[in-house]
């Protein structure tokens, strides 16, 4: 049976992934049907969204409250000076739609918090935390545990980056609160209060996209491993992290404690 031009273009576009032993046509179709939530459209969210869209993910819910500023441009590489003062998610949607016309991005210009996270997560199969605040990470982690949705958390400051995959279905893997306990005395500055080496945040964002794809396709699960990246020494380290049986977020069966 002769393939249609659409089928030929689909296979050709994804041909390099299809050469991998872990991928087949069903893998690509799985990505096209997946629904992903990205919280944050900064230095992490931009490369993550770009690589997810170009890998075949068609349904992305993208939330961020900020507008593009000129200080963002060295890290948030899908924006240009023409996007200044425009909501990041709107500018990002336009850019990604130019690159992948079939992508469907629900751009939400809002802050993710306890009032809307349940609604934002609803219907999504995986969440990427691309935010820059400790409090927000804890909230996203809590709501993902409650909704039993896998979570890929990235962070970067200075020359350093971190990556953690949280899988609520895993009995032994740690959640974010297991590893980083809440500290009421902690001063929660955004990344704008510190320096950041641009390629570091880009590296972590790309890795988040990769872990999200692998999680969706069940390729080599990495939950329970905290990845540490040092962009100055160009080194990666990985720490195995196990569930804290006293964790107030994930240690009970329902994950409903705060």
Alpha-helical regions (H) of 34-133: 45-54, 88-99, 117-121
Q: Three-state DSSP class for 223?
A: coil
Question: Are residues 124 and 102 in contact, defined by beta-carbon separation less than 8 angstroms?
Answer: no
Tokens at 226, concatenated: 């905290």
Partners of 237 in beta bridges = 228
191 part of the active site: yes
- The Cβ-side half-sphere exposure at 62, using a 13 Å CA radius, reads 30
Could you count the other beta carbons within 10 Å of the beta carbon of residue 156? 29
Exactly one of 175, 191, 247, 250 is catalytic; name it: 191
Q: Which residue has the tokens 């977020």?
A: 249
Alpha-helical regions (H) of the chain: 5-13, 15-18, 25-33, 45-54, 88-99, 117-121, 134-147, 176-179, 198-217
Q: Which residue has the tokens 């299809």?
A: 18
> What secondary structure letter does DSSP report for 192?
G
Tokens at 151, concatenated: 């979570």
From residue 136, alpha-carbon distances to 58, 96, 117, 129 in Å are: 26, 25, 10, 9
> What secondary structure letter does DSSP report for 66?
P
**What residues act catalytically?**
191
């Amino acid at each position: 049976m002769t393939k249609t031009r659409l089928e030929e273009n689909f296979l050709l576009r994804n041909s390099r992934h299809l050469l991998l032993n872990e991928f087949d046509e069903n893998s690509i179709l799985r990505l096209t049907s997946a629904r992903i939530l990205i919280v944050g459209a900064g230095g992490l969210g931009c490369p993550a969204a770009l690589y997810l869209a170009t890998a075949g993910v068609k349904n992305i819910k993208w939330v961020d409250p900020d507008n593009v500023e000129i200080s963002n441009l060295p890290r948030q590489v899908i924006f240009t000076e023409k996007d200044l003062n425009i909501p990041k998610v709107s500018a990002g949607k336009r850019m990604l739609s130019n690159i992948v016309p079939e992508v469907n991005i629900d751009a939400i210009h809002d802050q993710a918090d306890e009032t809307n996270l349940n609604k934002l997560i609803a219907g999504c199969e995986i969440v990427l935390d691309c935010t820059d605040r400790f409090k927000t990470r804890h909230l996203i982690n809590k709501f993902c545990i409650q909704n039993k949705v896998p979570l890929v958390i990235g962070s970067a400051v200075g020359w350093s980056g971190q990556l953690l995959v949280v899988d609520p279905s895993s009995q032994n893997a740690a959640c974010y609160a297991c590893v980083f306990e809440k500290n009421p005395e902690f001063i929660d500055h955004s990344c704008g209060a510190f320096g950041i080496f641009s390629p570091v945040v880009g590296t972590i964002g790309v890795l988040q996209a990769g872990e999200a794809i692998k999680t969706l396709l069940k390729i080599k699960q990495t939950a329970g491993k905290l990845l540490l990246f040092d962009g100055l020494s160009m080194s990666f380290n990985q720490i195995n992290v196990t569930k804290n049986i006293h964790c107030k977020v994930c240690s009970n069966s329902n994950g409903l404690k705060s």
